[in-house]
Amino acid sequence: MRTKHVAGLAVALLLLAGCTKTISGTPTAEQWNPTEVAGLPITTGPSGERPGVPPAHVSVQGTDNGPIDRLAADAVDDVQAYWGKVLPGYRPVIYVSSFDSRSSTGSLCGQSTKGLVNAFYCGNDDSIAWDRGVLLPTLAHDFGDMSVVAVLAHELGHAVQTRLGAAGASSIVREQQADCYAGSYFRYVAEGHSPRFQISTGPGLNDILSTLFFIRDTPGTSAASPDAHGTAFDRVTAFQLGFGDGVPRCESIDAAEVNRRVTPAEDGPSGPSLAVSDPAALHDLQTTIKSAFGTPVAPFTTDSACVGRYAVGFCPSDNSVALNLARLSEISGDFAAFGEIVSRAALSVQHARGLPLTGLVAAQRTACLTGLWAGSIVPSHHQALELSPGDLDEAVAELLADDSLIAADQAGAAVPSGFARVDAFRAGYAAANTGTAGVAACLTDSHW
């Protein structure tokens, strides 16, 4: 986040380079419900391979026949079985290969696999390959086995593009479509149609969104880069579009849509974070809140008991937002800290309309309104504060954290699904940038 005269924040994380028919089930991404994920109930059951399912019969070149390669082969088999149902005449990729980036001496798709920590689809020979030495074990360890499935579902999305003749699109559009295709496959799994895999719509999908955060482009990477894959916000958005709206929605992703999510500040380096204790920054924050919500701003105070155990709280008795500056300063990232403040101001908006301030519906409205504010400060809107590289990725990280207030009610109770939290935030962000009716887009009863 930045003022008009101050460079924005930087977050450094690992970058990994890297005629349809519908299946049963009706995605409902636009029908929000804090106890559902795109129309499916939030579940907390197991995620991973179903017990007792025999290994897939997939010929993997270079395999060590270890557990990672078996998981990857099973993923390739299941994802391609899905596409065989969705795309009549879909043909499997010709070659499937495994390599160990730590010791490999060979090459695939014209590049050495020594040190190649990656998974990829190669259109030159219609093949898919993965690193069993570093990449897939790291993903499985950090995010669970279904993260491996997600990465390979993305790569097979590129195979789908080849079969559909989707050539000539920019890298960022191709990658967004592939993330979307992966989301459509995970809908199939979440609905229980996969004979091989299962995933919970609560913790299971949260892990998949965390995987997309992990493999995002470094903040500041140009969306026009020939290798651009997208920010965490881009990648999560595309995945959710596929999960909620299905394959036809993926095919409709184009440069114009992607560009609407890209801010000029995403291109180029970032600077220092804004200090949440800076009076000038807090004044600018109040200015942007008023502009976004179109209502008088609840005053900020630092001497109220309404904060409780949190860094910030809303006090309905005097319509104020109470700040604990010491705790706010401990939050990682300026956008995350300012976003928590905005979330409490969003409760003021709801309070002014006589809406309940506790409960999951209030929490989800809060996430939407915070997204509306974020969408209102893209650089093209020329506000006192502006989004800078990494800010929306910070939003994703915050929304996936169970202790964030961005999608929480007055008591701090959060929407139980990270997927649903992000979805509501995205809806608000989109409303600010597509001419939708501002605050009403988050408060209309039909959404909830």
Each residue's pLDDT, cut to its tens digit, for the chain (448 residues) gives 554 432 222 222 232 333 333 343 443 334 468 889 999 999 999 999 999 999 999 999 999 999 999 999 999 999 999 999 999 889 999 999 999 999 988 999 999 999 999 999 999 999 999 999 999 999 999 999 999 999 999 999 999 999 998 767 888 899 999 999 999 999 999 999 999 999 999 999 999 999 999 886 555 555 555 465 678 899 999 999 999 999 999 999 998 888 876 654 444 545 567 899 999 999 999 999 999 998 888 999 997 788 989 999 999 999 999 999 999 999 988 999 999 999 999 999 999 999 999 999 999 999 999 999 999 998 877 888 989 888 998 999 999 998 889 999 999 999 999 999 999 999 999 998 776 568 999 997 555 5
Contact residues for 149 (Cβ-Cβ < 8 A; gap 6+): 71, 75, 78, 79, 197
What distance in Å separates the CA atoms of residue 76 and residue 129, rounded to the nearest whole number? 10
- Enumerate long-range contacts of 52-58, CB under 8 Å, 24 or more apart: 53/195, 53/196, 56/196, 58/96
Contact residues for 5 (Cβ-Cβ < 8 A; gap 6+): none
CB 407 within 8 A of CB 364: yes
Q: How high is the pLDDT of residue 22?
A: 38
Neighbours of 85 (CB within 10 A): 14
Q: How high is the pLDDT of residue 231?
A: 84
| Sequence letter at residue 79 | V
**How does 150-159 read in b/e, with b if 16+ C-beta sit within 10 Å?**
bbbbbbbbbb
CB 229 within 8 A of CB 215: yes
CA dihedral in degrees (320, 322, 323, 324; nearest 10)?
A: 170
Output the DSSP codes for 303-344.
S-GGGTTSSEEEETTTTEEEE-HHHHHHSSSHHHHHHHHHHH
Name the phi and psi angles at 332, rounded to 5.
-75, 115
Q: How high is the pLDDT of residue 3?
A: 47
Q: How high is the pLDDT of residue 262?
A: 61
User: Which helix (DSSP H) or strand (DSSP E) does residue 233 occupy?
Assistant: helix 232-245
User: Treating both helix axes as pointing N-terminal to C-terminal, what angle do 203-214 and 171-190 enclose, rounded to 10 degrees?
Assistant: 160
- What does each C-alpha distance from 442 to 262, 315, 343, 433 come to in angstroms? 22, 21, 13, 14
Name the phi and psi angles at 197, rounded to 5.
-120, 160
Q: Where are the beta strands (DSSP E) in 83-143?
A: 95-99, 107-108, 111-112, 119-122, 127-131
CB 119 within 8 A of CB 131: yes
Chain-centre distance for alpha carbon 61: 33
Kindly give the pairing relationship between strand 320-323 and strand 36-37. unpaired
Q: For 30-51, what is each residue's pLDDT tens digit?
A: 446 888 999 999 999 999 999 9
Q: pTM, whole model, 2 decimals?
A: 0.87
Q: Which residue from 279, 403, 383, 387 is spatially nearest to 332, judged by alpha carbons?
A: 403
Contact residues for 252 (Cβ-Cβ < 8 A; gap 6+): none
Chain-centre distance for alpha carbon 15: 15
Q: How high is the pLDDT of residue 176?
A: 93
CB 391 within 8 A of CB 383: no
Q: How high is the pLDDT of residue 11?
A: 26
254 half-sphere exposure, CB direction, 13 A CA radius: 3
**How does 350-360 read in b/e, with b if 16+ C-beta sit within 10 Å?**
bbeeeeebeeb
Q: How high is the pLDDT of residue 34?
A: 82
Q: How high is the pLDDT of residue 104?
A: 87
What distance in Å separates the CA atoms of residue 190 and residue 240, rounded to the nearest whole number? 13
44 half-sphere exposure, CB direction, 13 A CA radius: 4
| Sequence letter at residue 312 | V
Contact residues for 283 (Cβ-Cβ < 8 A; gap 6+): none
User: Which helix (DSSP H) or strand (DSSP E) does residue 74 occupy?
Assistant: helix 67-86
Q: How high is the pLDDT of residue 434?
A: 72
The position carrying tokens 């790291």 is 138
Q: How high is the pLDDT of residue 271?
A: 56
